[in-house]
Amino acid sequence: MSASSLFGLYLSLISGVSYGLIISLLAGGLSLIYGVMNNVNTSHGAFYMMGGFLTFFAVSSLHLPIVASIIFAFAAAFAIGLIFLYVLIPKKMWVSADPDSQNTVMILFLALAQVLQNGAFIVYGGGSIAVPRISFGAIIAPGGVYIGDQTIIAIAISLLCYVGLFLFLRDTKIGKAIRAFSQDRELAEAMGVKVSTIALMSFGLGVSLAALSGSLLSSIYSITAATGWNELVIAFVIVTFGGIGSISGSFLGGLVYGVVYAITQYYIPAYSFAIALVLIYIVLVNKPTGILGEIIERA
Amino acid sequence: MSAKSGTKKTLAIVVAVIVIIAIIAGAYYYTTSTTAPMQSATMQQTSSMPQSMTTAVTSSPAGVIKIGLITPLSGIYAPDGTQVQQGAQVAADQLNAAGGIMGEQVQIVTQDEGTTTADTVNAAQILVSQDKVNFMIGPYFSGDVRAVLPITTSQKIVQILTVSSLDALMVPPQNQYLFRVTLPDSGYATMALAFLNMTHSKSFVYEAEDYGYAHEIGGFLTNQSASAGVNMLSADYFPDTTTDYSSAINKIATLHPDAVVVVMEGTNGLDFQKQYGANPAVNKIPIFHLETLLILPTNAQAIETAVPNGVNDVFVGPISTITSATAAFQQAFQQKYSITASHYAMDGYDGVMILANAVTKAGSLDSDAVASALASTDYTGPGGHVVFLGNHNPTVGPGYLTGTIYQITVSGTEIHYNIVWPSTVSNSTAVNPNTGQPYP
């Protein structure tokens, strides 16, 4: 391999790790919701889009500083998520192993995604939103590779969120309840864990992570009212690869996806997404539960 | 039924109604939202009426001339597709107000192109078999044009392309009744070459979305740039779903090109520019976005907010050609629809007017006579001066169809689009992003 090819590989690794760490935050939320509620949140991409728009709203209409706007988007998405869960999904379907119920919820979440998307169209039109960066500048990695400040911040926040989520699930009462519930629902219920509380907390946190991802990335990528479907697919790929319901699997899955994607984009960009999917397919054929997933017995 | 289940049912109905209203409202808003290109040149307003307007037959209409139109009215291309329809309708209205074509009223019969080729073929069959259209405008996408050609050629339907740009379509025998009034892919390549020439670039990289037309432009650009002594260092094609271009931009940094040419017509182009403008390793290299959403000030402003100077000195090239008829059309369009006309509307208008001229000249609706009259078209409309070549593509070059190159400058919160090419309409000189000085 020539020196320039090796340098390309090095560049791709840096780009891939950055992208993977950023995008894994989105996937983490999806995994959390599925792990606890047994429901696929097909509106997850729409919450990513909404995170960008909530930040834009906070900056342009409430005139909040950008950091406060990002916090606002995170909190507002939590509240909005809970409201929609209450209004849209029958309570008995919040957590269910029944395939019919799961299908119904999946379709309702799809409808919710349409509502959110068209709501954004009506309010803000089809253009790209203007969100400032927390910091504008770049650091230079060895080899003269520039990495934007906002990318570094997004990576740092993504890592912080994963650490926070880990500590939350390990050390807090509700976190322990969530873990207990996701491992054995009946036993957890017998021990006094409330299904509704667990579901609300998981869904709220999950969609907040999606919104936070959209909020942070809205100044790096363009976000319009039509954004979200592509991100939903990417999140699905990462979650499936890492292991459905596994938070650490999503983190690892995001990293692997990012690196594979960046390397293929450097050398054969037209097939970057397809090759990432093929590699993930190969892994799943050999380990159907994903890298860190476990076999889940359904009633 | 219990009160509880009744409440749930009511709730379900309410939610369903909200969902349906939101979908309809969103779709309506989306299809009526403007996609206006910036036209900063002040042009003298002159008539764009074709010859038929001044020689219109005044006898009472003996019938209706039906022009079938296939264009996207749903999906993500609906805003542009709707502009084609609206532009065609403005032409029909003007023709009818002046007595129609040979005394017959003009009717635009529109079918949605849909989201699949099967939808388009269906639409063509309805127009030809059921509506019995005399002529056809569209479809919008080159792949769809290819799919409906067996129907239109077998029925000898004269077909005008106002959006599809694929040069490969214009070959015998399928181009016998097929004419194009918009810039073909070879014209896109010519625009890119004009940019490379303007910036004195000796090397460049080509970054494009992974579509057939972008590959065709890349092919033309490869040949034309080689002839001009400009070295194409790489040509990379990305799926249009790509959002992260950091790896691709790092690659550009390692290649050290004199210029970058981008063909990404959707939000992917905005993603690319946002990341390109933020990377100090590349952001002083002149970049040219062909047919881009950056032509909308709101999109340029969105990038500028996230990346200070992220669009400053960027070159953008919509394929519309400014003529003496452009301003008058834009005014008429604005009056009718309260939105700014894009080149899709102008080309839709030109398509109908060129057909009207040809029918008048042929003196009949016979396809062979109209095709023959079309071949000798010499028409100047809001979208450009159209003279057909032997393969029924329009002539590309100064005085005909050229496209327009703007350079964006940012002052404070203002986004300005300065016309830097072609010289016949330019109002500014191209500035080197690296030095901030005009190119010599």
Nearest of B406, B340, B267 to residue B37 by alpha carbon: B340
Using a CB-CB distance cutoff of 8 angstroms, which residues of chain A are in contact with residue B237?
269-270
Q: Is residue A11 part of a domain?
A: no
Q: What is the mean pLDDT of residues B403-423?
A: 93
| pLDDT tens for each residue of B11-22 | 666 666 666 665
Q: Which residue has the higher pLDDT, A185 or A67?
A: A67
Distance from CA of A97 to the nearest CA of B (A): 22
B9: which 2 tokens? 């049912």
Q: Is residue A76 part of a domain?
A: yes
C-alpha to C-alpha distance for B239 and A269, rounded to whole angstroms: 8
Nearest of A150, A138, A128, A2 to residue B253 by alpha carbon: A138
Q: What is the mean pLDDT of residues A238-265?
A: 89
Q: Looking at the predicted structure, is the pLDDT value of residue B48 above 50?
A: no
Q: What is the mean pLDDT of residues B127-142?
A: 95
Beta bridge partners of B381: B384
Q: What is the mean pLDDT of chain B?
A: 87
Identify the CATH class of B51-183+323-386. Answer: alpha beta
Q: Looking at the predicted structure, is the pLDDT value of residue A297 above 50?
A: no
Using a CB-CB distance cutoff of 8 angstroms, which residues of chain A are in contact with residue B270?
128, 222
Distance from CA of A102 to the nearest CA of B (A): 17
Q: Which residue has the higher pLDDT, B116 or B145?
A: B145
Q: Are strands A145-148 and B414-421 parallel, antiparallel or unpaired?
A: unpaired
Q: Given an 8 Å threshold on Cβ–Cβ distance, is A220 in contact with B306?
A: yes
Q: What percent of chain A has pLDDT over 70?
A: 96
Q: Looking at the predicted structure, is the pLDDT value of residue B41 above 60?
A: no
Distance from CA of B210 to the nearest CA of A (A): 6
Q: What is the mean pLDDT of residues B117-138?
A: 95
C-alpha to C-alpha distance for B287 and B434, rounded to whole angstroms: 11
Q: Is residue A143 part of a domain?
A: yes
Q: What is the mean pLDDT of chain A?
A: 88
| pLDDT tens for each residue of B297-314 | 888 999 999 999 999 999
Q: What is the mean pLDDT of residues B348-375?
A: 96
State the total domains in chain A: 1
Q: In this complex, how many residue pairs, one in chain A and one in chain B, have their CB atoms less than 8 Å apart?
A: 160
Q: Given an 8 Å threshold on Cβ–Cβ distance, is B305 in contact with A262?
A: no
Question: A103-112, A182-191, B60-69, B211-220: which has the minimum mean pLDDT?
Answer: B60-69
Q: What percent of chain A has pLDDT over 90?
A: 42
From A126, A231, A262, residue closest to B247, measured CB to CB = A262
Per-residue confidence (pLDDT) for residue B380, from 0 to 100: 96
Q: Given an 8 Å threshold on Cβ–Cβ distance, is B302 in contact with A127?
A: yes
B383 touches B350 (CB < 8 A) = yes
Per-residue confidence (pLDDT) for residue B40, from 0 to 100: 31
Q: Given an 8 Å threshold on Cβ–Cβ distance, is B246 in contact with A262?
A: yes
Per-residue confidence (pLDDT) for residue B65, from 0 to 100: 96
Q: Is residue A217 part of a domain?
A: yes
Return the half-sphere exposure (C-beta side, CA atoms, 13 A cut-off) of residue B127: 34
Per-residue confidence (pLDDT) for residue B34, from 0 to 100: 37
Using a CB-CB distance cutoff of 8 angstroms, which residues of chain A are in contact with residue B236?
269-270
Instruction: Give chain B as a 3 state SS string.
Output: CCHHHHHHHHHHHHHHHHHHHHHHHHHHHHHHCCCCCCCCCCCCCCCCCCHHHHCCCCCCCCCEEEEEEEECCCCCCHHHHHHHHHHHHHHHHHHHHCCCECCEEEEEEEEECCCCHHHHHHHHHHHHHHCCCCEEECCCCHHHHHHHHHHHHHCCCEEEECCCCCHHHCCCCCCCCEEECCCCHHHHHHHHHHHHHHCCCCEEEEEEECCHHHHHHHHHHHHHHHHCCCEEEEEEEECCCCCCCHHHHHHHHHHCCCEEEEECCCHHHHHHHHHHHHCCCCCCCCEEEECCHHHCHHHHHHHHHHCCCCCCCCEEECCCCCCCCHHHHHHHHHHHHCCCCCHHHHHHHHHHHHHHHHHHHHCCCCHHHHHHHHHCCCEEECCEEECECCCCCECECCCCECCCEEEEEEECCEEEEEEEECCCCCCCCCECCCCCCECC
Per-residue confidence (pLDDT) for residue B22, from 0 to 100: 59
Domain that holds residue A153: 24-224
B110 touches B73 (CB < 8 A) = yes
Using a CB-CB distance cutoff of 8 angstroms, which residues of chain A are in contact with residue B251?
8, 11, 266
Name the residue type at position B238: F
Per CATH, the homologous superfamily of domain B186-318+404-421 is: Response regulator (3.40.50.2300)
Q: Given an 8 Å threshold on Cβ–Cβ distance, is B244 in contact with A221?
A: yes
Q: Given an 8 Å threshold on Cβ–Cβ distance, is B267 in contact with A114?
A: no
Q: Is the peptide bond before B394 cis (omega within 30 degrees of 0)?
A: no
Using a CB-CB distance cutoff of 8 angstroms, which residues of chain B are in contact with residue A8?
251, 254
Among chain B residues, the shortest Cα distance to A126 is held by B30
Name the residue type at position B82: T
Distance from CA of B273 to the nearest CA of A (A): 9
| pLDDT tens for each residue of A277-289 | 887 788 888 888 8
Q: Is residue A126 part of a domain?
A: yes
Q: Given an 8 Å threshold on Cβ–Cβ distance, is A87 in contact with B33?
A: no
Q: How confident is the model at residue B35 (pLDDT cuts 50, 70, 90)?
A: very low
Q: Given an 8 Å threshold on Cβ–Cβ distance, is B250 in contact with A221?
A: no
Q: Looking at the predicted structure, is the pLDDT value of residue A64 above 90?
A: yes
From B29, B246, B274, residue closest to A19, measured CB to CB = B246
Question: A225-229, B83-87, B272-276, B379-383: which has the minimum mean pLDDT?
Answer: A225-229
| pLDDT tens for each residue of A9-40 | 888 888 888 889 888 999 999 999 988 888 99
Q: Is residue A118 part of a domain?
A: yes
Using a CB-CB distance cutoff of 8 angstroms, which residues of chain B are in contact with residue A219?
274, 305-307
pTM above 0.95, yes or no: no
| Residue partners of A18: CB distance under 8 A and separation at least 6 | A147, A151, A155, A258, B246
Per-residue confidence (pLDDT) for residue A2, from 0 to 100: 67
Q: What is the mean pLDDT of residues B123-148?
A: 95
Question: A169-173, B52-56, B82-86, B342-346: which has the minimum mean pLDDT?
Answer: B52-56
Question: What ipTM does this complex have?
Answer: 0.85
Q: What percent of chain B has pLDDT over 90?
A: 72
| pLDDT tens for each residue of B372-412 | 999 999 999 999 999 999 999 999 999 999 999 999 999 88
Q: What is the mean pLDDT of residues A161-167?
A: 91
